[in-house]
Amino acid sequence: MPKDAIVFVDEAYAEFSGVSLIPELERLPNVVVGRTFSKAFGLAGLRIGAITGHPDALEPIRLAVPVYSVNIAAVVAVQAALQDLAYMEQYKAEVEESKTRLYAACDRLGLRYWKSAANFVLVNAGERAERLAHGAAARGIYVRNRSKEPGREGCLRVGAGVVAHTERCIDVFEEVLCGAE
Ligand SMILES: *Cc1c(COP(=O)(O)O)cnc(C)c1O
């Protein structure tokens, strides 16, 4: 670990993975951990998160952050979110169930995938990627088409959130890949 540099660890998906460096920060004075309310708490777009680290590491950041950097709508939303952690736990459970169902669907459809610690899954549809992405979009299901990106040929990033949405996504995948032309 470089001694004269600050290392930023992005924990945007930590609620889903259950893994965090925060308990170790006491012995890592040059590490700063970033968390967001955009993912597990469903507050994307409100631009609210938190950083945690040794006071010496945080001080220069504190000096650089403008006053009023957090907007009032975000403050109200975070207070409400923190008073309803059961909602976040419920969403986490839905994500786990969605991933399980998506993996099973990929196995049935002969699609490779990487097990995910987040709320999305990278699926390798190979030659079928374009057809799957376009066919799904035409049916109202949007997946991120990564198939043209270096190292991710044939890959789609599929969201795995609310189970009812995942079920619809799986139905559409089956229709596009197995349905009669
Ligand atoms: C979502 C996300 C963030 C934080 O997003 P904000 O909406 O700006 O809080 C940070 N890193 C990664 C990798 C993310 O996916």
Pocket test for ligand 1, best of 9, 13, 38 (most atoms within 8 A of CB): 38
User: Which residues, including other chains, have CB under 8 Å from residue 10's CB and lie 6 or more apart?
Assistant: 34
| CA 83–ligand 1 middle distance (angstroms) | 22
> Homologous superfamily of 86-178 in CATH?
Aspartate Aminotransferase, domain 1 (3.90.1150.10)
Residues in the chain where the model's pLDDT stays below 70? 1-3, 180-181
- Predicted local confidence at residue 4, as pLDDT: 82
Neighbours of 142 (CB within 10 A): 12
| CA 36–ligand 1 middle distance (angstroms) | 6
Which one-letter DSSP state was computed for residue 107?
H
- Please give the Cα distance from 12 to 78 (Å, whole number): 16
**In the chain, which segments carry CATH 3.40.640.10?**
7-83
* Model confidence pTM above 0.85: yes
Q: What is the pLDDT of residues 131-170, one digit of tens each?
A: 999 999 999 999 999 999 999 999 999 999 999 999 999 9
Classify domain 7-83 at the CATH topology level. Aspartate Aminotransferase; domain 2 (3.40.640)
| CA 35–ligand 1 middle distance (angstroms) | 8
38 lines ligand 1 (CB under 6 A): yes
